[in-house]
Structure 1
Amino acid sequence: MIGKGHAISSTKASISYGWNQEKEAEVVLKEYLAGDTPTEITEEFQIIQSQNARCINNTLSFVVSPTIEDGKSLSPEELGELAKKFLKEMHLQNHQAIGFVHRDKAHTHVHIYANRISLSGEVYKDNFIGKRSQLAADHVAKELGLTRVREVQYEKLQELKEIRQEIKTIHDRVLQTRPKSLDEYISKMKAHKVEVIPTINKSNQLQGFRVAYKGTNLKASEVDRSMSGNRLIPQISQNRSFTRLKEVPKNVFVLNKAVQLSNNLATKIAKELVTGAIKIIRDTGIGMGY
């Protein structure tokens, strides 16, 4: 379960969003409130907020999101209990609050709006409220037996690890066919359902590549360093000329058009060429006296 939070000044607009019937909104929590409309709730907030007019961002906005699977099975009553426990973890038991569940998307989530001014007139400190919201949601998830953020993150990391390995394997197979142009490489990767997307800026400069596969979109370098543009371009240039690239090309052809290399990419390729030259000298002994 994930929790997010921040202080806001637009109380009525935010509560109106939470109450939006187009999002199948349903009130699951009311603390120290009697109103039945966004206007009435806002007026009740303002009565308490008038005790401390110096506080501008005087409403706290939270979003608590169980995982998709957990959200499917939670009733309005259980979501209300979840919201109440979240407020307790945030030490907001002495504050007006209202919570709405939204089910307009696959991911059920709860919007909670709490008065930053307590019933006794004290201003709630919002230091690191985002981080504290994350921790509070994690504690509630643990207490209620729901999926915790760290469990979701671990699952995603494992899934990502497998996808990265699949992409790298396909990349290696394609390189074994010695493609002689970036377009040929891109075409052959696509034949294996891996979309290689050149990143070209407004100045028509190639900055690198992204890779899309099985719903995952990553920088090529995040898949494996060998797939980064500064390594891929020299490799393909070598396939075309059968000699090692000796200087940074002024431009390359990709998507059937000539593009320049960005300064950053050109610098990285230059470093790769120097590193490659040093490796050849070390491996062959060329230029070394004995």
Structure 2
Amino acid sequence: MIGKVKVNQSFGAMCRYVLQEQAPGKGAEVLAAHGVRTDSAEHMAADFDAVRAMRPGLGKAVLHVALAFPVEEKEKLTNEVMSRIAQDYLKGLRIDPENTQWAVVRHQDKTHPHMHLVVNRVDLDGQTVSDQFIRSRSVDVCKGIEQDYGLIVADQVGHRQAREIGPTPKQQQATTPKEQQSADWSRARQEIGRALSYTAGQARSFDELREALRPRGIELELTRRKDGSPAGVVFAQDGHRVKGSQVGREYSAGNLEAGFAKARELGHDPAQPWQQVGQDYALAKLAAEYAQAKQRQQPERTPGQERNRGLGIGE
């Protein structure tokens, strides 16, 4: 299970996209919703915006998550199961499904099962839903759902596919040394971003993050101001240097430091064997291990039997 998280500004544009009113052949199907009408994109966006008005200064109030699954899971992932997964995903992010507006829509335009979750970052009490380190938190939530529902491990699938696919399209199309360098840098940035999504949310300091990244072949370079505060952070892999802000705004030096401070405040336990984590991460590329992991995770009973919690789907 992979969650692709974005924070946007326009509920109108997002609702038109997920409901696919201009392209009905793509098979958009509303699975569940809370606090919004689902009969049209116009009505849905109006309901989101009515609550958003309680926080007029919040520019990006639209939380959009595309949740995708391996094609092998298609038969298992009925609409009912996907609805429950979406709500468990919200709970994993500490978003109350009963006190927040949201809608989940399944699309049928791809071979693999996937759905789009639209969430209002202003809850029904007028409080802002935090997006700090939300991508890192999303990775942890997806891992938990994989385990709870007996799903194929997406981390292993992704790394196996990345090695099997080989060069990216941009690398293949490069015809000059400058284009090749740019393509290689772009791939390094993607791999650094993937590694940070698994590590940044677990660290309490730049030193801890550095130790977590080293087994993945990534070095962290930090510069500080005269007062000791972080001025900039650069990640290096295979000779390619990428600024934290180039990976994502949440990985700038200042935002990372703010996240570390929050983790220290919450008393996060950093006693995780980073070296072993790095070794497991590298071994996940082997197709044989992927097959074994899939075999081990065959559920003894269906998710519907184990997790029917009466969540009021569709209310």
TM-score grouping bracket, smaller chain normalisation:
0.5 to 0.7
1:81 pairs with one of 81, 84, 95? 84
Of 135-144 and 58-67, deviating more is: 135-144
In 1, the alpha carbon distance for the partners of 2:158 and 2:133 equals 22
1:65 pairs with one of 32, 45, 68? 68
In 2, the alpha carbon distance for the partners of 1:104 and 1:63 equals 13
Q: What one-letter code is carried by the residue in structure 1 that aligns with 2:72?
A: E
Deviation at 1:153, TM superposition (A): 4.0
1:100 pairs with one of 97, 105, 112? 105
Partner residue of 2:148? 143
Percent identical among aligned pairs is 24
In 2, the alpha carbon distance for the partners of 1:30 and 1:206 equals 46
In 1, the alpha carbon distance for the partners of 2:78 and 2:101 equals 23
- What is the TM-score with the length of structure 2 in the denominator? 0.50
In 1, the alpha carbon distance for the partners of 2:102 and 2:130 equals 16
In 1, the alpha carbon distance for the partners of 2:124 and 2:6 equals 20
Q: What one-letter code is carried by the residue in structure 1 that aligns with 2:175?
A: I
8 Å contact from structure 1 (residues 97, 115) kept in 2: yes
In 1, the alpha carbon distance for the partners of 2:74 and 2:139 equals 17
Larger radius of gyration: 1
8 Å contact from structure 1 (residues 6, 129) kept in 2: no
Partner residue of 1:48? 51
| Per-residue Cα deviation, 1:144-190 (whole angstroms, up to 9, x for no partner) | 11112233246447x74xx99xxxxxxxxxxxxxxxxxxxxxxxxxx
Partner residue of 1:9? 9
Q: What one-letter code is carried by the residue in structure 1 that aligns with 2:119?
A: A
Q: What one-letter code is carried by the residue in structure 2 that aligns with 1:45?
A: F
Cα RMSD (Å): 3.2
Which residues of 2 match residues 67-216 of structure 1 at below 5 A? 67-93=70-96, 94-153=99-158, 155-156=160-161, 160=164, 199-201=174-176
Distance 1:198 1:25, change over 3 A: closer
Relative to its length, the structure with more strand (as a share) is: 1
> Which secondary structure does the structure 1 equivalent of 2:72 belong to?
helix
8 Å contact from structure 1 (residues 99, 111) kept in 2: yes
Equivalences, count: 178
Deviation at 1:8, TM superposition (A): 0.7
In 1, the alpha carbon distance for the partners of 2:34 and 2:27 equals 21
Distance 1:201 1:83, change over 3 A: same
Q: What one-letter code is carried by the residue in structure 2 that aligns with 1:117?
A: V
Deviation at 1:6, TM superposition (A): 2.0
Deviation at 1:199, TM superposition (A): 4.3
In 2, the alpha carbon distance for the partners of 1:133 and 1:32 equals 23
Q: What one-letter code is carried by the residue in structure 2 that aligns with 1:71?
A: K
Using CA pairs under 8 Å that are at least 6 residues apart, name the structure with larger relative contact order, 1 or 2: 2
Distance 1:198 1:122, change over 3 A: closer
Deviation at 1:32, TM superposition (A): 2.1
In 2, the alpha carbon distance for the partners of 1:91 and 1:206 equals 42
8 Å contact from structure 2 (residues 34, 101) kept in 1: yes
Distance 1:206 1:67, change over 3 A: closer
Deviation at 1:198, TM superposition (A): 8.6
Moved over 6 A (4+): none
Q: What one-letter code is carried by the residue in structure 1 that aligns with 2:88?
A: K
Of 29-38 and 121-130, deviating more is: 29-38
In 1, the alpha carbon distance for the partners of 2:49 and 2:174 equals 50
> Which secondary structure does the structure 2 equivalent of 1:107 belong to?
coil
| Per-residue Cα deviation, 1:118-163 (whole angstroms, up to 9, x for no partner) | 1100011111222222221221121111112233246447x74xx9
In 2, the alpha carbon distance for the partners of 1:206 and 1:128 equals 32
Distance 1:52 1:155, change over 3 A: same
8 Å contact from structure 2 (residues 11, 49) kept in 1: no
Deviation at 1:202, TM superposition (A): 8.7
Distance 1:56 1:198, change over 3 A: closer
In 2, the alpha carbon distance for the partners of 1:3 and 1:206 equals 30
Residue segments in structure 2 that go unaligned for 5+ positions in a row: 167-171, 188-315
Residue segments in structure 1 that go unaligned for 5+ positions in a row: 165-196, 211-217, 219-290
> Which secondary structure does the structure 2 equivalent of 1:73 belong to?
coil
| Per-residue Cα deviation, 1:32-55 (whole angstroms, up to 9, x for no partner) | 223411111111111111111000
State yes or no: 1:39 paired with 2:42.
yes
In 1, the alpha carbon distance for the partners of 2:54 and 2:154 equals 38
